[in-house]
Amino acid sequence: MRIPIALAAQLQSSLSSSSSSSSSSSTGRIEENLSISGPSILRSCIPSTFEWTSTYSPYTLSLKQHHQIKIQNEESIIEEEEEEEMILITDTKVTWITDIKPGSNITLIIKDFKGNSAESLNWIIEQGTTGCLDDLN
């Protein structure tokens, strides 16, 4: 488990006065289409907030990292994805200190209690600060 996002999300959830475990929208109906959105740019060690539509709480937020591996002495490139569950949350937003190295290609995935899921856009992490990355080495 990626500790920094888990702590940030738990703090966000516990401090949020508008946090609700209800799965209905402001109109009283439940949204079936889950979607997730976030900032246009992610920078290493800089907080970013992500929000998703309210469907069936609780939600599982996962991180998918995309890797390209070039095979030595060949012209082929292997693409692989690594998905990691990060946190279970009842709110419809989370703030994450992006503890991923610059140049990494990531996607966030949100999954609700009933199994509906949505993927964010892909982001290439840009240079921010490096203070939170020291623990990753």
- Tens digits of residue pLDDT in 21-45: 344 444 444 557 999 999 999 999 9
Residues 118, 74: contact at Cβ < 8 Å? no
Domain enclosing residue 58, as ranges:
34-130
Identify the pLDDT of residue 67. 67
Identify the pLDDT of residue 71. 63
Asked whether residue 19 is domain-assigned, the answer is no
Asked whether residue 20 is domain-assigned, the answer is no
Asked whether residue 25 is domain-assigned, the answer is no
CATH number for 48: 2.60.40
Asked whether residue 99 is domain-assigned, the answer is yes
Least confident of 8-12, 34-38, 53-57, 87-91: 8-12
**For the chain, what percent of residues have pLDDT higher than 90?**
50
Asked whether residue 137 is domain-assigned, the answer is no
Asked whether residue 4 is domain-assigned, the answer is no
Q: Which residues contact 96 (CB under 8 A, 6 or more apart)?
A: 4, 5, 8, 9, 47, 48, 49, 50
Asked whether residue 80 is domain-assigned, the answer is yes
> Cα(128)–Cα(76) distance, rounded to whole angstroms?
32
| Domains held by the chain: number | 1
Asked whether residue 27 is domain-assigned, the answer is no
